[in-house]
Structure 1
């Protein structure tokens, strides 16, 4: 079977899940490639996966340089989450989805099935045009709810490609957390939940704070990182704050409390295994990694699906949700202290960890796709 995985040219969308799934499919004897933009092709290839380079699919950094996006760049430069709260960003780009679909259709690599990550819709359109089944690896379960008139906009794109409205149901949706993560009204049909391979545990701090791989780019003018360092400095616990780049560490002019280590990038999955609390922007990958390690969270969302993820963390009792607007070192320190001292958070996170461990491995997605392909 020829399996084409599709993902936006963003490393965090590709490397943690799609790359290991592609390797598993290759090891099972299937012909596999990941279709994405050129900006991340070398990163994917270093993970041992062939890449179908889509020439017109741009990374956020490349797209952000376009002149028509100058007002967006200016808004980002002025954004201070501790004052204005989470940034509202478009999570569905009609033109990008159409471009992605066109590039996949025009590529010479012809799949028997297309498996896309949640944020990438061009693969879905391409599958419908090519008449092949599609599946979803759900790396952002709560994001579709944020798209205004999503079904109508998707049908408008279908019309441009000569595809009937409504489309066809996905062959399967591969969730990466137990079904209980999904609110009851957001559980897609065909949902099958899986677990990723366990990470090795490394010695680390009691508290880890990280705001994602884009922290240094998004939080340039913000005081949020300084507030985080100051808050953890007020607690008598070893802590690490990932600033997002070595350059950010070298140029740091904020507080340097003795109990807080500043780092650029950290092996987050490994360190979480030894932590008692995780201060996070509530990106789904970080939430998934914390729950897989049984670590409760202090969720401080910044944009996209992070606010609903943070709300879900609170609803499930696996952490607390702290609003960025009006955040201070005192309020953040109090939230971290609460997660460290109230055992209910740790118990809920550990229970979630146990339910994750009971899920079938992600590699079973390949087996299911092959089974359905033979039955078709």
Structure 2
């Protein structure tokens, strides 16, 4: 079977997709990744600790049209049997509908579509440019259990086990932000004796922390991150901190609070045990083949 995978041109979006290419190939299938050149960086004028959360959903009609055209240009020669896209990349679905082939979804950002008002109507406008109608995915693979977001089937991605405090804010932090310095200063105030993840609440960070059973201090910046941070807090596996006006003292206090509160660690370990029971991520190809 020939599988064409599509992703936004961003490392965090490609990271779950690239290992799937290897998994398909190891099972004897042909698999490639297609994306489109596009700048997904936030505006350089935005300073999160000054301006607060940026309202920037991962949607651009221009990007969807460009990616769909890019995928179609390649697919008409390569002739895939199915297109497998990650959540925030919509051009692959349009291309599959044009080609009349099945499409499937790896749910790499479950809450991201909720940030796009009138998404179905926006997609229909793009479809109109290509003269096609909407179709449903034949298979949806979730990367966290149903406690985070329901999917047709749920899988577990491998992670590296880390000890101590880990801080991660992704690849889209503007160069003018002093947030990394705030985090470093906050961490310097702590006698680290336990585990915690300080994160912007991007889905990849959250998924890895949940899998490792590590509680979080979430400082959301844009897109689906506020929803992810709220879910972290609702599940009792961490706390949410407002980025606007954030100081090292406030952040250090919240980190220390999580480190010293056993209930956060218990909740994180309980959720990690549920994730440990999930099927391996590398089995997604077998399920997709059955669905197609």
1:157-168 map, 5 Å: 157-164=126-133, 167-168=134-135
The corresponding residue for 1:210 is 168
Match of 1:221 among 176, 179, 190: 176
Separation in structure 1 between the aligned mates of residue 254 and residue 246 of structure 2, nearest angstrom: 11
Say if 2:139 and 2:291, in contact at 8 Å, map to a contact too.
no
Could you tell me how far 1:59 is from its partner in structure 2? 3.5
Match of 1:309 among 225, 228, 249: 228
Separation in structure 2 between the aligned mates of residue 236 and residue 106 of structure 1, nearest angstrom: 56
Separation in structure 2 between the aligned mates of residue 198 and residue 153 of structure 1, nearest angstrom: 35
RMSD: 1.7
Unaligned residue ranges in structure 1 (runs of 5+): 37-56, 65-72, 239-274
The corresponding residue for 1:8 is 8
The corresponding residue for 1:121 is 90
**1:315-347 deviation digits (Å, cap 9, x = unpaired):** 111110001112222221111011100001111
Could you tell me how far 1:196 is from its partner in structure 2? 1.2
Say if 1:10 and 1:59, in contact at 8 Å, map to a contact too.
no
Say if 2:107 and 2:141, in contact at 8 Å, map to a contact too.
yes
Could you tell me how far 1:77 is from its partner in structure 2? 2.9
**1:49-108 deviation digits (Å, cap 9, x = unpaired):** xxxxxxxx21327xx7xxxxxxxx7xx333221222111214111111011111211221
The corresponding residue for 1:44 is none
TM-score normalised by L of structure 2: 0.94
Runs of 4 or more, structure 1, over 6 Å off, are: none
Say if 2:57 and 2:222, in contact at 8 Å, map to a contact too.
no
Separation in structure 1 between the aligned mates of residue 159 and residue 172 of structure 2, nearest angstrom: 24
**1:262-303 deviation digits (Å, cap 9, x = unpaired):** xxxxxxxxxxxxx60011111110111111111100000111
The corresponding residue for 2:281 is 362
Separation in structure 1 between the aligned mates of residue 48 and residue 3 of structure 2, nearest angstrom: 41
Residues matched between the structures, number? 290
Match of 1:132 among 90, 96, 101: 101
Say if 2:57 and 2:224, in contact at 8 Å, map to a contact too.
no
Could you tell me how far 1:198 is from its partner in structure 2? 4.3
The corresponding residue for 1:31 is 30
Match of 1:175 among 127, 130, 142: 142
Could you tell me how far 1:223 is from its partner in structure 2? 2.5
Q: Return the index of the structure with the highest Cα Rg.
A: 1
Unaligned residue ranges in structure 2 (runs of 5+): none
The corresponding residue for 1:145 is 114
CA gap of 1:354–1:136, structure 2 versus 1, over 3 A, is: same
